[in-house]
Structure 1
């Protein structure tokens, strides 16, 4: 039996002026999925989340995926490099005006190419461009990519809470 201990960090940005953006490289194209396809989101979740063991939604039914993706308060963007998917992000807005970066990440083939900062900048700009936004927030944990927390903080997000979790496995 072993224990797994990790820390979850909750970060927020309260004003678009806090954003310390990195420009998008000309070879990286980011497109909003204006025609919603829950199957694409499920694929992106697996493609980007695979190395980080994103498993929570793998058991979801088509109906659960459709309910999330087809909501008027949910939006998705995909980043492309030379025609290949390089990464993506999903945003969800609450009734209170909080926008959560639900999912954000790069495909493993594109780690270390300097795309993380510019793509996160784009995600934050997309979040702030939504009418009525009061706050943008995200959570990450020590099981995520080693650069994730630093990237969030470098773009201007600030930690407002953290929690340590220990899970026992047999």
Structure 2
């Protein structure tokens, strides 16, 4: 993803991991924490997606989409091939994810993360479980995939692997 973490040595090479799950049976679920609810944003509103991107991405310096115009955001977020879910805890946004349907029958977890005040509370495993279940439930999904890198939260890769995703490619910048 488009991230830069200031706590990581910027001189170190960035490693990007591409992970996949090729059948629903590989999913190792994590239980739903008390008080955490996940809801699909069925009525698409690009401004909401932009807000979620900023809220969740700020600590990781997600910057690629910050310069997009309203029209570009609308074209991105309001497509039929993109769906957004939001996690709420006690009425506050705890995190979100976006799923993007690909032409080859796969679904990409395009964005995934927790709002800063909810990191470290045990919500990530269930939110990822929810994302994977939603991806597999979306039509005739053949594969679910995501990429993460060493600039993401230090627990990102292990969360993906703990849920049953497997690395299929690694790139070093």
With normalisation by structure 2, the TM-score equals 0.93
Cα distance in 1 for partners of 2:68, 2:155 equals 29
Counterparts of 1:64 and 1:24, CA distance in 2: 35
Q: Report the alpha carbon displacement of residue 163 of structure 1 after superposing the two structures with TM.
A: 0.5
**Count of aligned pairs:** 164
Does structure 1 residue 118 correspond to structure 2 residue 118? Answer: no
Q: Which residue of 82, 91, 112 corresponds with 2:90? A: 82
Structure 1 counterpart of 2:45: 37
Please list, as runs of the form range in 1=range in 2, the aligned pairs for 1:7-156 lying within 5 A after superposition. 7-156=15-164
Per the alignment, in what secondary structure is the counterpart of residue 65 of structure 2? Answer: helix
**Is the partner of 1:128 in helix, strand or coil?**
helix
Aligned partners of 2:44, 2:32: CA distance in 1, in Å? 24
Distance between the aligned counterparts of 2:150 and 2:64, measured in 1?
17
Deviation track 1:101-147 (CA, whole Å, cap 9, x = no partner) reads: 00000011011110000000000000000001100000000000010
Matched, 1:6 2:34: no
1:157 to 139, 149, 165: 165
Q: Deviations over 1:49-106 (max 9, x none)?
A: 0011110000111111111111111000000000000000000001211100000000
2:5 aligns with none
- TM-score scaled to structure 1, two decimals? 0.94
Task: Give the whole-Å Cα distance in 1 for the aligned partners of 2:133 and 2:34.
Answer: 17
Separation in structure 1 between the aligned mates of residue 166 and residue 44 of structure 2, nearest angstrom: 31
Structure with higher strand content: 1
Structure 1: 4+ residue segments shifted above 2 A:
none
Separation in 2 of the partners of 1:158 and 1:60? Answer: 32
Unaligned runs of 5+ in 2: 1-9
3-state secondary structure, aligned to 2:13 = strand
User: What is the CA-CA distance between 1:23 and the residue it aligns to?
Assistant: 1.5
C-alpha RMSD of matched pairs (Å) = 1.0
